[in-house]
Amino acid sequence: MTAPQRPRVPRRVLDGVLLLDKPIGLSSNDALIRAKRLYLAKKAGHTGTLDPLASGLLPLCFGEATKFSQDLLEADKTYEATMRLGIRTATGDAEGEAIETREVTCDEPAVVAAMARFRGDIVQVPPMYSALKRDGKPLYEYARAGQVVERAGRPVTIHVLEMLACALPDVTFRVTCSKGTYVRTLAEDIGEALGCGAHLVALRRTGVGALTLENAVTLDALSDAAEGERDRWLQPVDALLSTFPPVALDAEATRRFLHGQRLRLADLILSDEAANAERVRVYAADGRLLGVAKLGEGVLAPERLVVTAETAGT
């Protein structure tokens, strides 16, 4: 006799953004699965991965917010990291085995001077232990097989790079960087500039675009909270769009926008900031987020629309 099947727990239609403080040792996807289960959400996604070694800000998108997750993938990121000089590892971080040890002869001023060389536009060679693909296969699969694949350097921008603490051989620093930057590669390159090598021993993400850890919550806090209390940690969908200037539409323009029609800029009232932007976030007169749009050639063109109970009936 087969055991009766458990009744399926109904999933919620949920729209919003959760600023999660991901713990060390958990993959981004595992963190997403746990949060989605706690919220009983139908649809969820994350906005770029954090390695299991790393902790910190992992914005999770629910429902309509998933339409705008790409915008955070493109955003600058801020990290606090600690590198250990004198030891190179196979992976560039503490998860890999040591492959070379050198004496650390530099002092703090030398570290400060070396870090200054990596501010601004630089070229990074992606690490072998990364998810970048070559001939359809992730680089880390080649690395695990003992193969080294030639990789082209990629331009990235280091907006901020400052030392927070120096207790040699360990150096803690803050970095704000463009998308595609590998902080462990940055640590390795600084170590090479100092002549002793280095690897990353700690990494914590503190910012993604305009989002910070200030309003983030841990999985433990979510688990301990009563089911009805968890929604208080959800940010509105437009939390992902705070860098885009806002544009408000009247009722007729709202109707046309939601039907995907382009609107003449001459018919709209735009702030100077919005008028000079490439993309804007668009609202109805009552404050409802309608979506995002591109500006160009004298028109406001809908790009991605938000669908809610209210807008669906507009």
Q: Annotated active-site positions, please?
A: 51
Transcribe 177-218 into DSSP letters: E-TT--HHHHHHHHHHHTTS-EEEEEEEEEEETTEEGGG-B-
Contacts of 162 (CB under 8 A, 6+ apart): 115, 173, 174
User: Inter-axis angle of helices 108-116 and 183-193, to 10 degrees?
Assistant: 120
229: burial class by Cβ within 10 Å (0-12, 13-18, 19+)?
exposed
The conformation of residue 238, written as its DSSP 8-state character, comes to G
Longest CA span, the chain:
75
CA distance 302 to 198: 48
